Amino acid sequence: MSTVSTTLHRVGDRFRSLPRPAKLALAVLAVLLVYLLPIINPPLITTTDSDFGAVLFSCAMYALVAIGLNIVIGYAGLLDLGYIGFFAVGAFTVGVLGSQHGKLPLLLCIPAAMAVTMVSGVLLGAPTLRVRGDYLAIVTLGFGEIIRLVLVNTNWLGASRGISNIPSPPSIDLFGVPHLVWNGAVASIDLGNETRFLQFSVTDSIPFYWLTLTIVLVVLFLDWLMQNSRVGRAWEATREDEDAAELMGVPTFRFKLLAFATGAAIGGLSGALFATKQAFINPDNFTIIYSVLFVAMVVVGGQGNRWGVVLAAALLTWAPEKFRFLSDARFLLFGMALMALAIFRPQGLLPPRRTVRAKQADEETEVLEEGVAHA
């Protein structure tokens, strides 16, 4: 695992050293390949026992969740174990406004879902962010479970029966994109199996995947802007040493609240996309186990590394579907893989560069101390 991570970092260093036109061309090709995955159906990647388009949609949706939670945990250092609560609030806001108690179009429901979850993040964070560490984790864990119980017991929100007929994005049937079919290493075009571009329906998940992937790319760009701004530096200072940051004049509570609200808004956005794709939601879709999975995505990917958490979200979503033929044994293997990662790679698959540099500095210090001791 360490060798793989080192190789990825070296590839990243070489990519950054390329001329700007070459970097732009490679980035465009990589993004185009990711968009075309459900059309190309690569034999080693495609899921034979599950709808590949639906699996890719889940990967993109959970990548969006991981980006939002990474702001809270990776940037600001706040352990949130109730992130599923924001996910549920976003989904049910779309359900209530678009189906249960209104007929608003989805283009209005999604911004409303983000606004409601942002407000809920502020309402939760304002009284609780003054506590730290385990206490904050316990409070957020309770928040996630309270949201689920409220949904189960409130008839106005559909109670245990949930909400159906949630609106889909507006469709624009422009043209069809045929899929590839593989016979060994030979690919051929299947004209009888095509995806209608931007035609959203319950029978084809690929347009939903394209929409979600586009939103992920936009959010990644905004995330990059925030991390490299004054706000990002304040989050990093708060994460490393909150007391020292306060002494240096950083209003840590204000920036922690901003991180909480921003992460909540992205969680609400992902929940809204989940609701419109499913067209039906109920409280069973938002159990506390998902919060644990979300945190695992951030920890496995490398806290503070946006590309690491995106990679981990995709892997932890895709792997159980790829190995579905193993039945329940796949979950045993999944758990063993996570244990091995925690033991041999506790900093995650792609730790932030600051973590790598700090580890290298510690190793160099240990070598110098051993040399002095022997001398």
Is the pLDDT score of 44 beyond 60?
yes
Is the pLDDT score of 227 beyond 80?
yes
What secondary structure does DSSP assign to 78-110, as a single string?
A: ---S-HHHHHHHHHHHHHIIIIIS----HHHHH
For residue 133, the model assigns a pLDDT of: 75
For residue 7, the model assigns a pLDDT of: 60
Distance CA(232)–CA(64), nearest Å, equals: 19
Is the pLDDT score of 374 beyond 70?
no
Distance CA(114)–CA(98), nearest Å, equals: 14
Distance CA(354)–CA(358), nearest Å, equals: 6
**pLDDT by residue (tens digit) across 250-284?**
888 999 999 999 999 999 999 999 999 988 999 98
296 backbone dihedrals φ, ψ, rounded to 5°? -60, -40
Per this entry, what is the length of the chain? 375
- Mean pLDDT, rounded, for 42-53: 85
Q: Which of 144, 113, 124 is nearest to 261 (CA)?
A: 124
- Mean pLDDT, rounded, for 340-356: 76
Q: Which of 258, 218, 220, 212 is nearest to 238 (CA)?
A: 258
Domain 2-8+51-169+204-369 bears CATH identifier 3.40.50: no
Distance CA(114)–CA(215), nearest Å, equals: 13
Helix (H) or strand (E) holding 57: helix 52-70
For residue 34, the model assigns a pLDDT of: 92
**Out of 59-68, 218-227, 331-340, 357-366, least confident range:** 357-366
SS3 287: coil
197 burial (CB, 10 Å; 0-12 / 13-18 / 19+) is: middle
State the Cα torsion 10-11-14-18 to the nearest 10°.
Answer: -160
What secondary structure does DSSP assign to 184-197, as a single string?
A: TTEEEEEEEEEEET
For residue 71, the model assigns a pLDDT of: 94
Q: Which of 153, 311, 133 is nearest to 239 (CA)?
A: 133
- Mean pLDDT, rounded, for 153-180: 86
Record the tokens describing residue 241, joined without a space: 């040493």
**pLDDT by residue (tens digit) across 299-339?**
888 888 899 999 999 998 998 888 887 777 777 887 888 78
User: Which of 119-123, 188-192, 329-333 has maximum average pLDDT?
Assistant: 119-123
Percent of the chain surpassing pLDDT 70: 90
| pLDDT range class, residue 4, cuts 50, 70, 90 | low
Record the tokens describing residue 74, joined without a space: 């990776």
Could you identify the residue written with the tokens 């070598």? 367
For residue 189, the model assigns a pLDDT of: 82
